[in-house]
Amino acid sequence: MSTQTSRVWLITGSSTGLGRALTEAVLKRGEIVVATARQPQQLAELETQYPRQIITLRLDVTKPDEVQKAVNQAIATFGHIDILVNNAGYGMMGAIEEISDTDVRQQFETNFFGVLNVIRAVLPYLRHQRSGHILNLSSVCGFVSNAAGGIYCSTKFALEGLSEALAKEVASLGIKVTIVEPGAFRTDFTGRSLSLSNQCISDYGNSSAEIIKLLKQIDGKQLGNPIKAAEAMIQVINSDSPPLRLVLGSDAVAMIENKLTAMRTELEAWKPVAMHTAFDEAKVAF
């Protein structure tokens, strides 16, 4: 194995779901993976199958010391990191009023601050080599919010704002950023990995409770194929002109198209009000 010619991927949350599918797809291509997870023993099979292409590291992205240690070990082992995939995360569902402060903060610690921790640890190396690609796993819920997902969606909205700014900050340094927005894929997101509020306020029975019921019903029946999602992400990495946003799944495409249409309709309806908020003597600038 030559670390001079093989791309090195650092993937968080590699043990399950889209992270696992991507890890396996990259290894099958003969590339190198620094696979991190809170339970790296779940990756033992891949270590046996690809002993010269993978190292597995325990990593809780909410702990900056662990993040820096993992990044340092990746650099010490392979000399560089080419692709960072921030995949670790989970969903907390429930009406906004129902979710405890502790659960809200933990959701942000993992889905937002955890990603920020990893990005800040890896960026100095990417800047030094003047190359690299960062994939931040958001969700269609990072563009379209819904009942029961107010807190989860907020973490993904925040991640998208961070990613947009980051893309502009590092473009001149040869570093690319892509936000991945999956719809419903057949992973354990709506099963084992889904966290629910302990409260249940009856007034939200026709809104948040219905969404949670739907999520439970589709578990294991989602149309999205994680293997195909992994192939799409690799295609983006191999592209000379990768998108800022990669939407995955027909459901996600439809939800985003519907929101864009609604936003355009609302913008046009209220445009006269928006355009008449300047001082009378001011000129409108376009």
For helices 150-170 and 101-108, angle between their N-to-C axes, nearest 10 degrees = 30
* Residues classed as catalytic: 138, 152, 156
Distances (CA, A) of 203 to 60, 95, 124: 36, 10, 49
Question: What are the beta bridge partners of residue 8?
Answer: 32
* Buried/exposed 45-71: b ≥16 CB within 10 Å, e otherwise: ebeeebeebbbbbebbbbebebbeebb
